[in-house]
Amino acid sequence: MTDRPNILLVLADNLGWGELGCYGGGVLRGAPTPRLDALAGEGLRFTNFNVESDCVPTRSALMTGRHPIRTGALQSVPAGLPQGLVPWEVTLAQLISRQGYATACFGKWHLGDRAGRYPHQRGFDEWYGIPRTTNESMFTATPGFDPSVVPMPHVMAGRVGAPAEERHVYDLEARRRIDGELTEHTIDFMSRQRAAATPFFAYVPLTQLHYPTLPHRDFEGRTHAGEFADAMVEMDFRVGSMLDALDRLDLARNTLVLFGSDNGPEFRRPWRGTAGPWTGTYHTSMEGALRVPFMLRWPGRIAPGGVTDDIVHITDLYPTLAEVAGASVPTDRPIDGVDQLGFFEDPASGSKREGFVYFIKDELRAAKWRTWKMHYVWEPEPNTGPRHLEAPYLFNLVRDPKEETDVNATGDGWARGPIRKMVHAFQQSLKADPPIPPGAPDDYIPQRRSEA
């Protein structure tokens, strides 16, 4: 077997900070999560891991190490229209694949649903999953649905060098089955690479707990606390099955396992989740949207039982995992992520990041720095209407985790200075390297302002 480390990155969908037992949920939410709780204890658990506002921008940030305001991957658009990442972007999978790794994506992609933009055309050797989002599984059961004007949702598959294939319709029953299928594909992929003595990068963006939050039939009624709790127990089981496979294949010690969520909890009822002590859900700039569960395990490299509240951002995984695989990040474009490998291995050394800017679509909503957060636009609940603030709100997140008391007029007001400097520097970088417009064509190549 190669000594190069394998990477297993599992991304849950709409899993709030407060859902898992190791984050204060679990049995309190009617759903014990023993496998994920154990995983957190076997490595490093993060209480201040931050993402983007929802599915598309977070996945874009993960795959490029760049805030989505730069890449144009700001939100989901109707099927078949240009969306996601233009081919000019260099994905994490491309970086790792160039190092001789076998790469696979099993799950929800949401970064392009047309030829040239599917996962197996963006650095992954193989792919099985859905091109867009889980709520499309509801389409065929909706009165009036017309497949002549809207593409029928499908579970798809692809291998490098071949066109994508539609495997079966993604309806409500398929929605219940899919995470089990993704787990089976992942285990099979890891087994094949073990036999071939090839290091692998397995990216597994699961569909739970995205709405409609429906469990596999094998888990239906398991908790007696409803389908949401049943689905959470299923998710815990699926991750545990992948971990068990690593043990059986004698790969656990040489595999970096990462587990996180793409954004804060769902806000729609009856599928509304919880962010624990934080306020808000995804589609907002509240802490409940930004902070999500995140943990990693790497035996012999990362000590067990660690917990850190240092700020880390989803973009940081791009340069960090590139470093793990021995790859170099592109130097011809701004990369917002910072390499955190040294911090992961030695949490006492501290995060290499002090803060970050936060956009929803193309609008600056907030900026977070150390223990402070400044809101430029106020929208504590999705779809209540954003209120643009004449004077930004400033919160101390340690003393006020619910973001209820503006501290601009107190001694904390000094924190506005470094926050404004951070925001200004980012805005200047957008002028030097103008953002890729949403919906840009495949042949779009950005130009630096100085080259225009």
110 catalytically annotated: yes
- Rounded CA-CA distance 444/87 in Å is 8
- pLDDT at position 2 is 61
- pLDDT at position 92 is 98
Q: Taking the CA atoms of the chain, what radius of gyration do you get in angstroms?
A: 21
DSSP of 289-355, one letter per residue?
Answer: HHEEEEEEE-TTTS-TTEEE-S-EEGGGHHHHHHHHHT----SSS-------HHHHH-GGG--S--E
Q: Which residues of the chain have pLDDT under 70?
A: 1-2, 78, 80, 449-452
Q: If 0-12 CB within 10 Å is exposed, 13-18 middle and 19+ buried, where does residue 414 land?
A: exposed
- Rounded CA-CA distance 358/344 in Å is 23
Return the DSSP state at 402.
T
Q: Where are the alpha helices (DSSP H) in 16-134?
A: 34-41, 55-64, 68-71, 92-97
Q: Are 56 and 343 in contact (CB under 8 A)?
A: no
Catalytic residue among 22, 67, 105, 110: 110
- pLDDT at position 64 is 98
Q: Could you tell me whether strands 126-130 and 154-159 are parallel, antiparallel, or unpaired per DSSP bridges?
A: antiparallel
- pLDDT at position 384 is 82
22 catalytically annotated: no
Residue range 261-281, pLDDT digits in tens = 999 999 989 999 999 999 999
Q: What angle do CA 344, 69, 417 make, to 5 degrees?
A: 70
Taking alpha carbons only, the member of 290, 450, 449, 278 closest to residue 358 is 290
Catalytic residue among 22, 55, 185, 216: 55
Type of residue numbered 410: T
pTM here? Answer: 0.96
- List all residues 6 or more positions away from 422 whose beta carbon is below 8 Å from its beta carbon: 354, 355, 357, 367, 369
- pLDDT at position 79 is 73
| 3-class state of residue 164 by DSSP | coil
Q: Which domains does the chain have, with CATH numbers?
A: 6-141+155-349 (3.40.720.10), 355-451 (3.30.1120.10)
| Cα distance from N-terminal residue to C-terminal residue, the chain | 49
Q: Which sign, positive or negative, has the C-alpha torsion 271, 384, 19, 320?
A: positive
- pLDDT at position 1 is 45
- pLDDT at position 145 is 93
Type of residue numbered 144: G
Q: Are 295 and 45 in contact (CB under 8 A)?
A: yes
